[in-house]
Amino acid sequence: MAFLYITEQGAVLKKRGQRLVVEKDGATLLDTPASKIEGVLVFGNVQVTTQAVHLLLESGIEMALLTGHGRLLGQITSPTTKNIVLRQDQYSRHLDSGFRLNLARAIVEAKAVNGLELLRGFAHNHPETDLEEECRRIAALFPQARTMPDLPSLLGLEGAASRFYFQGFGKMLRHSFSFTTRQRRPSPDPVNALLSFGYTLVYGEIGSLLDGMGFDPYLGFYHQPHYGHATLASDLLEEFRAPLVDRLTLNLINNRILQEDDFYLHAASGAVYLKDEPRKRYFQEYEHHISRPMGLSGDETSTGFRGLFKRQAERLKDVVTTGGDYTPYRFSW
């Protein structure tokens, strides 16, 4: 099934029978069966009728509301899948400092390893790009995650590995795009804008998935509770940053799918954003990238990243309910 991205400002999402219809100024922009839609993302000034919301809830379709610039405002979800027993287990595990630390160690190590794999794979395919120092530094750091004594120490280790990783990431960019450091709010350049936008989309998808399974997405194990922040979604996001969002960003820039004039500077905030038409192009590439089947080591079948989200969420559910060690996703080229 597909995700529906509604970015046309002034459009209206309506219900027609068991179909979702997007209209603007009397013209139909989209008409599709609700059964073919897994999630709906609404950007900016888009209206949604009450009847359409009813159909989404009855069909178990998540809807995320975002600003026109892509900042997640909230989500609308059906209450039918809430699992209070799982939430009780989650709250109990959160009080277990040893459980939290072991899970956080696995998350930080996987994030560093997956970033290292992306750097090594790029260096293999582009031997003219010298990434030896960055790879060496990260390779020396990530095993230390297993012995970090507490969460603040892990946070420091993650920060050190990220600095070396993004130093190498900047070397992998081609053409006129420049990147010196990772900066989230505001995003000062197109590369940071693409990274932030991609992380937001994946964060929203994972948050909706966790909520639908019965988790409390706002109570993470590595990331500290923060008002309005789905920290459990951020926990699972970590292992997908490099292989999904960062790799997609490299593809968009290095293959000239997006150009520098596809972005604009918002003067009031100092943030850089994608323009409307290039953003539609981004969604097409995002859907292709996230849905593309990929072989998994030890698995008999292939799945896309959305299948991996579900697999990892199920692994987390098993660990939360029965104990044991969490096995993160490990990326390989």
**pLDDT per residue as tens, the chain (333 positions):** 678 999 899 999 999 999 999 999 999 999 999 999 988 999 899 999 999 999 999 998 888 898 887 778 888 877 655 678 999 999 999 999 999 999 999 999 999 999 999 999 999 999 999 999 999 999 999 999 999 999 999 999 999 999 999 999 999 999 888 898 998 888 999 999 999 999 999 999 999 889 888 899 999 999 988 887 899 999 999 999 999 999 999 999 999 999 999 999 988 888 999 998 999 999 999 999 998 876 554 443 457 999 999 999 999 999 999 988 999 999 987
Strands 47-48, 263-266: pairing kind? unpaired
pLDDT tens, position by position, 113-135:
999 999 999 999 999 999 999 99
DSSP state of 110: H
pLDDT tens, position by position, 54-100:
999 999 888 889 888 777 888 887 765 567 899 999 999 999 999 99
Strands 271-274, 263-266: pairing kind? antiparallel
Question: Residue 110: phi, psi to the nearest 5?
Answer: -65, -40
- HEC string for 149-162: CCHHHHHHHHHHHH
Strands 12-16, 19-24: pairing kind? antiparallel
Query: In the prediction, which pLDDT does 233 show?
Result: 96
Domains defined for the chain, CATH in brackets? 2-81 (3.100.10.20), 84-322 (1.20.120.920)
Query: In the prediction, which pLDDT does 133 show?
Result: 97
Cα–Cα distance list, 38 to 2, 61, 128, 207 (Å): 6, 6, 42, 14
With beta carbons less than 8 A apart as the criterion, state whether 242 and 118 touch: yes
